[in-house]
Amino acid sequence: MEKTLLKDFELQHKNPSVEALRRWRSAVTLVKNRRRRFRMVADLDKRDEAQQIRQGIKEKIRIALYVQKAALQFIDAGNRVEYKLPSDVRESGFCIHPEEIASIVRGHDNKILNNIGGVEAIARKLSVSVDGGVSEESINRRQEIYGFNRFTEKPSRSFLMFVWDALQDLTLIILIVCAVVSLGVGIATEGWPKGTYDGVGIILSIFLVVTVTAVSDYKQYLQFRDLDKEKKKIFVQVTRDGKRQKISIYDIVVGDVVHLSTGDQVPADGLFISGYFLLIDESSLSGESEPVNVNEEKPFLLSGTKVQDGQGKMIVTTVGMRTEWGKLMETINEGGEDETPLQVKLNGVATIIGKIGLTFAILTFVVLIIRFLVEKAQNGEFANWSMADALKLLDFFAIAVTIIVVAVPEGLPLAVTLSLAFAMKKLMNDKALVRHLSACETMGSASCICTDKTGTLTTNRMVVTKTWICEKAMQITGNECADELKTCTPEGVQNILLQAIFQNTSAEVVKDKDGKNTILGTPTESALLEFGCLLGADFDAYAQRKMYKILKVEPFNSVRKKMSVLVGLPDGGVRAFCKGASEIILKICNKIIDCNGEVVDLPDEQANNVLSIINDFASEALRTLCLAFKDINEIHGEANIPDSGYTLIALVGIKDPVRPGVKEAVQTCKAAGITIRMVTGDNIHTAEAIAKECGILTEGGVAVEGPTFRDLSSEEMMDTIPRIQVMARSLPLDKYKLVNNLRSMFGDVVAVTGDGTNDAPALREADIGLAMGIAGTEVAKENADVIILDDNFTTILNVVKWGRSVYINIQKFVQFQLTVNVVALVINFFSACITGSAPLTAVQLLWVNLIMDTLGALALATEPPNDGLLKRPPVARGANFITKPMWRNIIGQSIYQLIILAILNFDGERLLGISGSDATEVLNTLIFNTFVFCQVFNEINSRDIEKINVFRGMFDSWIFLSIIFATVAFQVVIVEFLGTFASTVPLNWQFWVLSVLIGAVSIPIAAILKCIPVERDNSKQHHDGYEALPSGPELA
| Closest among 768, 805, 37 to 419, alpha carbons compared | 805
Identify whether 48 is a catalytic site residue. Answer: no
- pLDDT for the residue 72: 46
Look at 1028 and 227; give whichever has higher pLDDT. Answer: 227
- pLDDT for the residue 1034: 38
- pLDDT for the residue 77: 44
Q: How far apart are CA 463 and CA 466, in angstroms?
A: 9
Instruction: Mean pLDDT check: name the lowest of 25-39, 226-240, 349-363, 499-513.
Output: 25-39
Write the pLDDT tens digit of every residue in 559-578.
788 999 998 887 778 899 99
pLDDT mean across residues, the chain: 84
Write the pLDDT tens digit of every residue in 4-19.
777 777 877 777 888 8
- pLDDT for the residue 67: 58
Write the pLDDT tens digit of every residue in 439-456.
888 888 999 999 998 888
- pLDDT for the residue 993: 95
Q: How far apart are CA 802 and CA 808, in angstroms?
A: 10
Instruction: Mean pLDDT check: name the lowest of 182-186, 751-755, 787-791, 1013-1017.
Output: 1013-1017
Residues in the chain: 1036
Write the pLDDT tens digit of every residue in 370-401.
888 888 888 777 777 777 788 788 878 877 87
| Closest among 472, 466, 475 to 489, alpha carbons compared | 472
Highest mean predicted confidence (pLDDT) among 168-182, 188-202, 463-477: 463-477
Residue 97 main-chain phi, psi, to 5 deg: -70, 140
Look at 55 and 623; give whichever has higher pLDDT. Answer: 623
Does the pLDDT value for residue 438 go beyond 90?
A: no
Instruction: Mean pLDDT check: name the lowest of 510-524, 715-729, 862-876, 883-897.
Output: 510-524
User: How does residue 638 score in pLDDT terms, banded at 50, 70 and 90?
Assistant: low
What's the mean pLDDT in 677-703? 92
C-alpha triplet 153, 157, 162: angle, nearest 5°: 155
What's the mean pLDDT in 57-66? 71
- pLDDT for the residue 634: 67
Q: How far apart are CA 617 and CA 622, in angstroms?
A: 6
Write the pLDDT tens digit of every residue in 141-166.
999 999 999 887 778 889 999 898 88
- pLDDT for the residue 1020: 43
- pLDDT for the residue 1029: 40
Domains along the chain?
432-458+659-791 (3.40.50.1000), 463-655 (3.40.1110.10)
Look at 658 and 545; give whichever has higher pLDDT. Answer: 658
- pLDDT for the residue 80: 57
Look at 623 and 189; give whichever has higher pLDDT. Answer: 623
- pLDDT for the residue 2: 66
Residues 6+ apart with CB under 8 A from 473: 466, 467, 613
- pLDDT for the residue 639: 67
User: How does residue 513 score in pLDDT terms, banded at 50, 70 and 90?
Assistant: low
C-alpha triplet 180, 182, 184: angle, nearest 5°: 70
- pLDDT for the residue 593: 93
Residues 6+ apart with CB under 8 A from 615: 683, 685
Per DSSP, the three-state class of 520 is strand
User: How does residue 880 score in pLDDT terms, banded at 50, 70 and 90?
Assistant: confident
User: How does residue 888 score in pLDDT terms, banded at 50, 70 and 90?
Assistant: very high
Three-state helix/strand/coil letters over 735-773: HHHHHHHHHHHHCCCEEEEECCHHHHHHHHHCCEEEEEC
Write the pLDDT tens digit of every residue in 647-657.
999 999 999 99
User: How does residue 1030 score in pLDDT terms, banded at 50, 70 and 90?
Assistant: very low
What's the mean pLDDT in 922-929? 92
| Closest among 607, 599, 391 to 493, alpha carbons compared | 599
- pLDDT for the residue 636: 54
Entry pTM: 0.84
- pLDDT for the residue 512: 67
Q: How far apart are CA 133 and CA 721, in angstroms?
A: 52
Write the pLDDT tens digit of every residue in 737-763.
999 999 999 889 999 998 888 888 899
User: How does residue 78 score in pLDDT terms, banded at 50, 70 and 90?
Assistant: very low
- pLDDT for the residue 325: 83
Distances (CA, A) of 934 to 172, 901, 964, 968: 25, 10, 12, 11
Determine which one of 217, 264, 395, 452 is catalytic. 452
Share of the chain above pLDDT 90, in %: 32
Look at 334 and 1001; give whichever has higher pLDDT. Answer: 1001
